[in-house]
Amino acid sequence: MTEKQRFLEICNTEIKREGLSKLLDWLERSDFYEAPASTKYHGNYAGGLLKHSLNVYDCLKRIASHYEDKNISAESIAIVALFHDVCKVNFYQKGYRNVKDDNGKWVKKEIYEINEKFPIGHGEKSCIILQWFFGKLEIHELLAIRYHMGSFDAAVKGGDFGISKAYEMAPLAAMLHLADLEATYLLEEIQTN
């Protein structure tokens, strides 16, 4: 089974929200399945975003299984894990940079660059895009996606303390952040070539 087939199987098995088919159609017409997860960090290669989404799903599912008393549905786990970075759809473009090769000669290297068309914030953008299709997300899903970046979030770096309240109100938010960290730093690679 390919990663794309697995992604679609999870979506169609776990998510029952109205609007899912329209979201999946939109993803099919986008670069989601070929996009990188970042320009120079984890998953900085074609297909990195899809791989990252699946890794976060696997990590979140395992983490949530340790906290069954929190009553987090399989549907919420699938939604927040698989779509937390939907803000990165059509976000990157290919470009070039001059770098020195092993012999010290300058060569042109293909890279990914950011091409932001809707600069509203990382987690916020994912929440907005998902609500275009699902109509409404549950509050714990919104908080999880909004604050999945943890201390890497620009608002948090600027002194916003909303993240603490979000994690208190929605255990799913803390879990998604942990799953994102695990996938990013323990499972995924950075391509240097």
- In tens digits, the chain (193 residues) has pLDDT values of 999 999 999 999 999 999 999 999 999 999 999 999 988 888 889 999 999 999 999 999 999 999 999 999 999 999 999 999 999 999 888 888 888 888 988 998 887 887 888 778 889 999 999 999 999 999 999 999 999 877 666 666 566 777 789 999 999 999 999 999 999 999 997 777 5
| pTM (two decimals) | 0.90
* Phi-psi map region of 121: left, alpha, beta (phi>0 left; psi -120 to 50 alpha): left
What are the structure tokens assigned to 76, written together? 């919420």
